[in-house]
Structure 1
């Protein structure tokens, strides 16, 4: 069974009386696709972004049994006025619930909240749960503020209380430290690392051990930094026992690696060697399959690179679908049976 835990949606339309700052969709002549217009953005959105039948067809074609579908990241516009941000979030959440309803065992929609107003975002989580959405997507920074800052702790506390999952998608900060050409490459790695590290250093990870949170693209460069952080914490190389005489910043709390192993990470990292490293450092029970579909084309078949590792069967089952169910708060044993077409395709 294959669960693609990192895919995206776009609503087909937006209210005619929506605020001027809302996005809108324009028809594309001779096509069922639409053009997303959102501020300066012009993005040709394929029909699969918003039509459930097209999504199921695409899953069947690539051997995917279930998709976790989150809002296309540019919708996470925290620079909007808080009231408009909440209105946009509710529209997107309604659409996510509607899209999921067409094939609930195959399309699992996530919502969004106006993180520019932490109190409003926290209050909106109850509505997310009531709508049957298992969680929300947030950006890796909120107008330049790290998500591990204390002002966001009530939001994550409420998400943990409600049993909602969090998907953190890497997004650029308002102050660019790299050229625009690095937006989709190095910025993703830097911002993902900052987000995960802030959750560890700010105390959220330690305070909320039952929070189910996943980071896009394996939290960028985090995994390369963790052994160094572990050395500063306890003076150990290769996770040997503590040697506090060598430690630069001794700490009696959980080690950085222990905290990092409380998170989930999608394995959309483009190289089997990187996935192997993540398996060895973080564990096969921490990784999810992801593709960024349809913003990016899936491998053919889906998970081709991860499958090439030839992991032991139990580890492969964790990576390919069981971890995704755990992250979503679902019992893998009773998670449901996938569509026969997808099972057949994924076996090829």
Structure 2
């Protein structure tokens, strides 16, 4: 079984009476695709973004058994007024529920919330669950604020209580330290690292121990930061037993790596050497398959790199499907 835990959707349309700040989807003459217009963004969206039949056909062509579909990240516009953000989220969530409901064995939907207003976002989680969606997608920062900030703890606590999965998609924050052309590469890697690190350093991981949270693109540079954090916590190399008197920042709680092994990470890192490091450091039970489809083309067939790594059968089965089902809170098939 292969579950693509990182794939995206776009609604086909938006209400005619929607606020001006809403996206628009305009038809393209002689084409089944549509043009997404959102602020300064213009994007040609193929029909596979919003057509369940086309999505299932694309899965079949790539050897995918199930997709976890979340809103295209540009829809996570936390700069909108809270009321407009809630209205947009509800429209997108309704579409997501309809799309996934058209093929429930093949499509699992994640909702979105206006996290710029943490109270409103927290209250909306129950509606997401009641629509049959399995979780919620959030950006790696909220108008530059860390998701590990204490103001978001009630949101994560409610997601934990409602048994909803959380998917953190790396999104650039404002910066002038890299050119705009690097936003989709280096900045996204930095953002993933900051988001995951903030969940540990800010205390949220400790306060929400049963939260099922996944990070896009293996949380960027986070896995390479972990050994240094572990050294500061334990005072030793190579994850040897802690020697508190030699540590720089020791506490009596779980170590940084122990916290990190509670998270999930999609393995869309584009290189088998990076995947081997993730397996070795984080464990094969923490990794998922991801593709960013259809915003990016899938590896063909899906999971080709993983299947070419001579992994033990149980490790391969965990990464390609079982871990994703566990992250979503769905039953795993019997061997």
- The two structures have a TM-score, normalised by structure 1, of 0.95
Is the 8 Å Cα contact of residues 89 and 111 (structure 1) preserved in structure 2? yes
Q: Does 1:270 align with 2:273?
A: no
Distance 1:290 1:284 in 2: 15
Q: Which residue of 2 aligns with 1:321?
A: 321
Alpha-carbon displacement from aligned partner over 1:40-64 (angstroms, at most 9, x marks no partner): 0001001100000100000000000
- Cα deviation code 1:107-141 (max 9, x no counterpart): 11110000010000000000001001010100000
- Could you give the per-residue CA deviations for residues 167-201 of structure 1, whole angstroms, max 9, x where no partner exists? 00000113443210111110111000000000000
1:214 touches 1:266 (CA, 8 Å); kept in 2?
yes
User: How big is the shift at 1:90?
Assistant: 0.2
Inter-partner Cα distance in structure 2 for 1:129 and 1:99: 15
Give the Cα–Cα distance (whole angstroms) in 1 for the partners of residues 326 and 243 of structure 2: 35
Within-5 A mapping of 1:5-84: 5-84=5-84
Q: Give 3-state SS (helix, strand or coil) of 1:332's partner.
A: coil
Residue range with higher mean Cα deviation, 128-137 or 249-258: 249-258
The CA distance in 2 between the partners of 1:246 and 1:297, in whole Å, is 48
Post-superposition offset of 1:306: 1.5
Alignment partners' CA distance in 2, 1:320 and 1:164: 21
Secondary structure, in 3 states, of the residue corresponding to 1:138? strand
Structure-1 separation of matches of 2:170 and 2:73: 9
Of structures 1 and 2, the one scoring higher in RCO (CA 8 A, sep 6+) is 1
Counterpart Cα distance in 1 of 2:274 and 2:287: 12
How far apart, CA to CA, are the structure 1 residues paired with 2:326 and 2:180?
Answer: 36
Residues 1:219 and 1:45: Cα distance change in structure 2 (over 3 Å): same
1:199 aligns with 2:233: no
Q: CA deviation at 1:330?
A: 1.0
SS at the partner of 2:242? Answer: coil
Which whole-Å CA distance do the structure 2 matches of 1:175 and 1:220 have between them?
A: 17
Paired residues in the alignment total 335
Alignment of 1:86 with 2:77, yes or no, is no
Normalization by structure 2: what TM-score?
0.98
Quick one: distance in 2 between partners of 1:303 and 1:186? 24
Greater Cα offset, 267-276 or 25-34? 25-34
How far did residue 307 of structure 1 move?
1.4
1:255-266 equivalences under 5 Å are: 255-266=255-266
Per-residue CA deviation, residues 74-111 of structure 1 (Å, 9 max, x unaligned), is 00000001000000000000000000011101011110
Q: How far apart, in 1, do the equivalents of 2:62 and 2:176 lie? A: 36
User: Aligned-pair distance for 1:305?
Assistant: 1.1
Q: Which runs of 5+ in 1 are unaligned?
A: 336-348
Q: Is the 8 A contact 1:144 1:175 kept in 2?
A: no
Q: Give the Cα–Cα distance (whole angstroms) in 2 for the partners of residues 103 and 138 of structure 1.
A: 24
Structure 2 residues without counterparts, runs of 5 or longer: none
| Per-residue deviation, 1:247 | 1.4
| SS of residue paired to 1:67 | strand
Aligned equivalents of 1:137, 1:245: Cα separation in 2: 41
Separation in 1 of the partners of 2:250 and 2:202? 17
Q: Which runs of 4+ in 1 moved over 4 A?
A: none
Equivalent residue number for residue 160 of structure 1: 160
CA RMSD of aligned residues (A): 1.1
CA distance in 1, matches of 2:208, 2:169: 20
SS in 1 for 2:166: strand
Distance in 2 between the 1:182 and 1:164 partners?
33
What does 1:206-221 correspond to in 2, within 5 Å?
Answer: 206-221=206-221
